[in-house]
Structure 1
Amino acid sequence: MFFSVARLRLPLASLLLLPALARAHEDALFTSSVTYCAPPEAILVQQFDVAYFAANSSVNFNISAASVLPNLNVSATLYLNVYGMQPVNLTVDICSLFGGALCPLPMYNFVGWDSIPLPPSLDVASKLPGIAYKIPDLEAFAQLTLVEVGTNEVKACVQSTLSNGWSAHQRGVEWTTAAMALLALVAAVWQSIMTDALALLPVRLLDLIYLYQTIAASGLLGLNYPVVYRAFTLNFAWALGLFAASPSSHIQNSINNMRHLTGGNLADASSGGAVPLVNRKMSPYNLPPSNTFLAPQSLLARVASLPKMDLVKRGVEHMARTTVADNKVLVGGDVATVTPQSSNVLQPGIPIYVNSIGIATANAFMTIFLIGLIYAAIVLAALALAYGVAVWLGRTKSGRNSDRLTDFRQEYAAWARAWGLRAVLAAVIPVLIFSFYQWTLKDSWLSVLLSVITLLAISAIVLYSYYLILRTAVQARSSPSPPAPSPSTIPLAAPYAPHRAWYIVPLLLAVLVKALVTAFASSTGLAQAVIFLVTDALVFISLVIFKPYRTRHADILMGFLGIVRMVCSGLLIAFAQSLELKPIPRVVIGIISAIIFSVAVLVMFFNIFVNMGLWRLLTDVICCGRRRRAGNRALASNPSHHGSDPSILEKGGSAGASQQQVNRPGNPTPPASESLTPITPGSEWSAFTDTTGTTTLGEPLPRRWSFQHSRPPSASAESPSASSPQSPRWSGTTSPSTYLSALPSQRHSRRVSSSAPSPIEPIDEHCAPEEPA
């Protein structure tokens, strides 16, 4: 017990340190993106970084701006919005900053930073709850408005979204979920080789991939998602073939060039992500509808000709000329504004989702297409490698003697077709969604053409496999000896009972309906969520009624996943823009949905873990370790056994629990001068009889040592019972050990009194021995 508790000291200490580690994270809110909230005419803000520190209730800012009008005196209004609350709304006198260097605004590209202690009268600390510094994907923004003194005209306005450093979108989560899928893939391939075509792990692999894709696709609807839920779904974007891309991504740049050369005119991805371009009535802004504004080309050209002044050096103007690109102005720390040739507002749904990971809206399908080509090449190479390894092993000595390897080489073609179909099934959902969505963009004719070709190819493979399954199911109903399904269609037929193989049709229809609704109904998010809920509810009801899977455990697992999908689809309704739900309730519902999906992922991983046999191995190791430790403690508590037989010690000291030793007697030796007649072996005793019928026995044996090898009967003196064809013990080819192994097992006590020998009645040679009770 002491050692078990001692092992818990490190985990307990870690748990106790978690609050301290959380407190070590400084409570602060800082800029994550910047965009305009009024047309820039006289002042161009190139960078505006702001941070609020709760420790000293101060606001730090770093600004890079340029003024093109002479004698312009402005005042700055700083506004803070956190989940719809407004804890800060103050006006700062620009003339009091930097020793009056900004009054009036100089006609320079000026840069500078400062820290402003907030007055105690604002009491910002009491207005900002502590959870604002800990909750992931905070929905808050700061707005800086420059108003001309005297006329109260807005000369510049920028909005900066704020972050606390925590997010539900983590690289570690992506790698962990991908590792889970890879482990399931390796185990599924191995099980499909070593067992039969109806192996369970390949089925669970597809179920896991579908769960990942369901979570990712739930963030593609035209809803006003809380930022935390969208960030959570981005962890599973890789399951749809969407991988985060940087502004310098060669794949994305190649797609951009291809689109522009084939009639595409939609915007490329912004290096600042999707948040700065989200409509202001949606998260994280939660404001009435408004527009984002562009910097006019005339203002950019005038700013490019201005000298630069560093306000941090206090009065030392650096008059070097600077160059500002006409199509790119840095704001919020290397975040580019939108160019005049692009759309300035991202629509909810797929545009915000894909732009959040650096993929332009018009590049979504082409990204899926190129990733699909790489995916197909990997699958084909893996299948070829598997065949090459099988051929190489077949030429080895051990391989030539392996029946399993020979069978695999003979069945390789069907095995490869089955795994090829599984690879296609894993790509059905992303291909359907993004092919349909590409048709709504009307951007590049080559992208549309490739989407049609890809959709037709996938449909031909899947629909033909569905046809074979349904044909087999119809023949099974009309034929007394139903035919077996084709080996190449096993991935579709394996999960279901033979008489429920038709259940693949409603599942395919559900996937098709969701893909159509996601692609073509993005303007009505509420309708999308309702259709998702109805579809998942119908699938769950059909599952409860028909119970289509092969085992009850499979029905329960699929029913659990059906409930998860149905509940989360119902919770999506709360994100509809028309309902205008407050920000905080939406965030709570988003976190609940993320938790439910996370639990489903853990359940699926545990299921795969058990089906791999690792759970049984783990329990065996733990149980054997406990038994071994118990045996060692028993031996240590009984010093009289320290000198006993080492073989007994290796068996865990089962005899050490007794205070007395029961010596096993040796086998009796019959007299050499008398001829012995063998008898039928008894059920619990072995005996030797002489010609007079008397029994020659040694000491009585305890029941646990009752079995002894008897001398085989001779041809001249056979036991009647041994030659009787009705004997259940020796009939046919049954050996004594086989028969004895079939006897009912008896539990033996370790106490001496229970294992003491009992008197034995003489056995008559003409009577069969009494059967055990």
Structure 2
Amino acid sequence: MWGRSAVALASLALLPSVLGADILKTDGFTNCANGTGTIKVNNVDISFDRDTNKVNFDVSGESTIEQEVMAELVVSAYGVEVYRDSFDPCAEDTKIDELCPVPARAFSAKGSQEIPSEYVDKIPSIAYSIPDLEGSAQLFLKGKDGSEIACIQAGVNNGKTVEVPAVSYVAAAIAAAAAAASLIGAAASGAHPGSSTSSPGFSEVIFWFQGMAMNGMHSVPYPTVYRSFTKNFAFSTGLISWAGLQKSIDSFRAKTGGDLTDSSYEFLKNATLVYPDNSTSSASSTFKKRALLFMRQIDISNDTSSSTGGNEKQQHFVEGIQGYVEQLTIPDANTFMTVLLVFAIVLAAIIVGILLFKVILEAWALFGKFPKSLTTFRKEYWRVIAQTIVALILLLYGVWTLYCIFQFTHGDSWAAKLLAGVTLGVFTLILVFYTWKIWSVVNKLKKMEGNSHSLYENKEMWKKYKTFYENYKRGYWWLFIPAIVYMFAKGCVLAAGDGHGMVQTIGQLSIEVIMLGLLLWTRPYERKSGNWINIIIQVVRVLSVVCILVFVQELGVAQTTKTITGVVLIAVQSGLTAILFLLILINSIITCFKQNPHRKRRKAAEKNLSRDLEGDAFLMQPNPYSATPPSHSREVSRDSPGYEPMRDRFGNQFDDSQEALVKGAGPMGTSRYQSLGQAKSGHSISPPPFSREPRLPDLGYEQYRHR
């Protein structure tokens, strides 16, 4: 097994590393006894210090009878047993007073056991440095007759983890940079109709982060390293661990039919999370792991006066979405309300910022003169607020669907369920309304103009609906509809399939493959960079779900293979995130100097239109009549088969011979147009249309003027 450690070692350059003591320590525990037993264990802390080659333990619990026991310690890593040893608590070299014998009362035993060098040498150095070590320890207490009295299993870690706050801060900074780049692009294009933003933009970055977070919500036994990694992107889905907020939600649930027994913030603080692969962790384990960085020595004293009440841990079995949110110390029943309140706080902050900017502009208008580009915002700030709300709904619709369905199946508060149903219905109706509105406008445009180009060229239409299609080509404005369906389907499959990892993974893989095929077929983005970037992101999404398929328990893949797959997946997703950040910086620079394609096309159209108008004005100038007929009329003789005589507008045939044309040109300068009455009487015929000069029409009033 350790022969494969070279692969994991090569990946360490992509993972955060910290300096600390070479200590392996348990994190939480679960009861693994077959029967009830006569000993109840309340707390277990086991650690191994490589500097001293000793295993230190602190076990507390209660016993119903006094009895002598044998202790056996088994340590495993990546599914392989690496250490097993038994000892007698009553032996002279391993004596533990509190377990010799076990008293018929509450007890607390602390002690140490020296590990032989042959066992220590089997533990490679990588075990002390690789983040989120996949290890476990089991402590068995057996009677003298060999019967099992108690069994405790706990996860083992080394204090290193990829769950680092700095990762979340960097991800948030990348999202902020993408938002700033989008604003720079909008300013550079002057908010002209048809102006698209550069890729990757803010929405694409947030969708990418949401995808990585949702990858950690499947009901599969993830490698610990990947579970910790996906936790860093929970903020993009609205999940923020905040003690005060969770306590308020607990109080709200308690008043509206909620049960706080095993689903509350206080319960999670003192609970051990047990995952499907029997790995364990505490909801507050991050703080414990950081504390290990400062631990150089462990108290090995045999003090038996410690109290067991404060150390008692509750086992809490979790998986899927519940396992993901509760590692953030967010009870599963609080999930929707957490996202709802975070959404309300963010939306309120944005609205206050917009209104404050409006006040600044009004004050500026009183005491100075601000740029014309801000005039539209000053007059239409309510439209900006409405579009901001719609943009946020579009951004969160997929995860909102996920959390609402999860609330219906896991929530216990009738008020929270009602809010979930109302908000999901309202969000869906808003998106359906805009879809219907845009579709109706396109149908009208096609009937009136023959195409839908006014969606990009008409300023009012652009301002109203650009949020949905601004980055798409003119012929692919409709792609926002399958994009909304894609987000809805992902949320539904993940939430409705919770507890069924195979169903979730296959469903998600099908959705991602269909979306990839649609992007490859249409390549809908206005900019080539947008097409390639979004296609690459979608390819990585498909590969990510394929990797999650390796974690599915039904397939029986070895733990070492799962861990290596998790490390590779982290490397790929982290690499793409870094590339997106570089592209954001590059596009920000390019946007400042490169003309927007929509604007460039519009300028060319305006130039062509101006040229056409100038040509039309030239053609409208009066042309003198020439007696020489057109050259093509001279080339066709009267005897030709295709010869047709020239006729006037009344059907009378012209004599187009040279002699007749010359004779007809004589009185041309002195002839006057006759009245309509004279023309109808047949006295004379008006000259051919091409011989007239521009003048006002004669309606026959001349004869009445001389009366």
- TM score, norm. by length of structure 2: 0.72
* Residue in 2 that maps onto 1:142: 137
Mapped partners of 2:90, 2:582: distance in 1: 64
Shift of 1:202: 9.3
Which has the higher relative contact order, 1 or 2, with Cα contacts under 8 A spaced 6 or more apart?
2
Residue of 522, 541, 546 corresponding to 1:546: 522
**Closer, same or farther: CA 613–257 of 1 in aligned 2, 3 Å:** same
Correspondence 1:355 to 2:301: no
Pick from 421, 426, 434 the counterpart of residue 452 of structure 1: 421
Q: CA deviation at 1:481?
A: 6.3
Q: What amino acid does structure 2 have at the position aligned with 1:367?
A: T
- Contact 1:225–1:283, Cα closer than 8 Å, also in 2: no
Change (3 A) 1:192 1:418: farther
Range that drifts further, 387-396 or 170-179: 387-396
- Equivalence for 2:502: 526
Matched, 1:488 2:464: yes
Partner Cα distance (1:433, 1:416) in 2: 26
Instruction: State the secondary structure of the residue aligned to 1:114.
Output: strand
Residue 553 of structure 1: CA displacement? 1.7
Match of 2:648? none
- Larger mean CA deviation between 405-414 and 214-223 belongs to 405-414
Question: Shift of the alpha carbon at 1:427?
Answer: 2.0
Distance in structure 1 (CA, Å) of the matches to 2:169 and 2:154 = 31
1:214 alignment partner in structure 2: 211
Q: Structure 2 vs 1, CA of residues 317 and 379 (structure 1 numbering), >3 Å: closer, same or farther?
A: closer
- Find 2:367's aligned residue among 390, 396, 410: 396
Deviation at 1:471, TM superposition (A): 2.9
Corresponding position of 1:433 = 402
Pairwise CA distance, 1:176: 1.2
CA-based RMSD: 3.0
**1:515 counterpart (479, 488, 491):** 491
Q: Which residue of 2 aligns with 1:669?
A: none
SS where residue 34 of structure 1 aligns? strand
- Within the candidate set 185, 201, 206, 2:179 is matched to 185
Alignment of 1:163 with 2:157, yes or no, is yes
The one-letter code sitting in structure 2 at the alignment partner of 1:519 is A
Q: Decide whether the 8 Å contact of 1:418 with 1:487 is kept in 2.
A: no
Aligned residues of 1:418 and 1:490 also touching (Cα < 8 A): no
Residue matched to 1:462: 431
How far apart in 2 are the matches of 1:22 and 1:532?
33
- Give the SS at the match of 1:32: strand
Partner in structure 2 of residue 557 of structure 1:
533
Amino acid at match of 2:191: D
Q: CA deviation at 1:381?
A: 1.1
Corresponding residue of 1:51 = 47
Structure with the higher fraction of residues in helix conformation: 2
Asked whether 1:567 is paired with 2:543, we answer yes
Among 372, 376, 380, the alignment partner of 2:347 is 376
Residue 128 of structure 2 corresponds to residue 133 of structure 1 = yes
The answer to whether the Cα contact below 8 Å between 1:232 and 1:594 also exists between their aligned partners in 2 is yes
Alignment CA distance shift 1:219-1:476 (3 Å): farther
- Confirm or deny that 1:235 pairs with 2:216: no
Q: Deviations over 1:501-557 (max 9, x none)?
A: 111111111111111110111232112212212211111111111121112221111
CA gap of 1:413–1:106, structure 2 versus 1, over 3 A, is closer
Equivalences for residues 279-298 of structure 1 within 5 A: 279=275, 281-283=277-279
Q: Number of matched residues? A: 548
Q: Kindly indicate whether the alpha-carbon contact (under 8 Å) linking 1:274 and 1:352 is maintained by their aligned counterparts in 2.
A: no
On the 8 A contact 1:79/1:88 being kept in 2, the answer is yes
The 3-state SS of whatever aligns with 1:555 is: helix
Alpha-carbon contact 1:226-1:284 (below 8 Å) kept:
no
Structure-to-structure mapping, 1:29-68, within 5 angstroms: 29-38=24-33, 41-68=37-64
* Structure 2: distance between partners of 1:526 and 1:312: 46
**Residue type of the alignment partner of 2:256:** T
Q: For residues 361 and 419 of structure 1, what CA distance do their matches in structure 2 show? A: 29
Give the partner amino acid of 1:259. R
- Residue type at the aligned position of 2:250: N
1:317 and 1:609 map into 2 onto residues whose CA distance is: 60
The answer as to whether partners of 2:401 and 2:488 remain within 8 angstroms in 1 is yes
Q: Match of 1:492, as an amino acid?
A: F
Instruction: Kindly state the Cα deviation for residue 455 of structure 1 after the two structures are TM-superposed.
Output: 0.4
User: Secondary structure of 1:166's partner?
Assistant: coil
> What are the superposed Cα offsets for residues 577-614 of structure 1, whole Å, 9 maximum, x if unpaired?
10011111111111222222212222222222123228
Q: Report the TM-score, using the length of structure 1 for normalisation.
A: 0.66
Offset, 1:260: 3.2
Q: C-alpha distance in 2, partners of 1:536/1:554?
A: 18
The residue correspondences of 1:568-717 to structure 2 (distance < 5 A) are: 568-613=544-589
Q: Which residue of 1 aligns with 2:202?
A: 205
Aligned mates of 1:157, 1:282 — CA distance in 2:
13
Provide the identity percentage.
25
The one-letter amino acid paired with 2:471 is P
Shift of 1:312: 7.2
CA distance in 1, matches of 2:96, 2:235: 52
- Structure 1: runs of 5 or more not aligned: 1-17, 286-310, 339-343, 618-773
Distance between the aligned counterparts of 2:516 and 2:485, measured in 1?
14
What residue is the counterpart of 1:27 in the other structure? 22
Q: What does residue 378 of structure 2 align with? A: 409
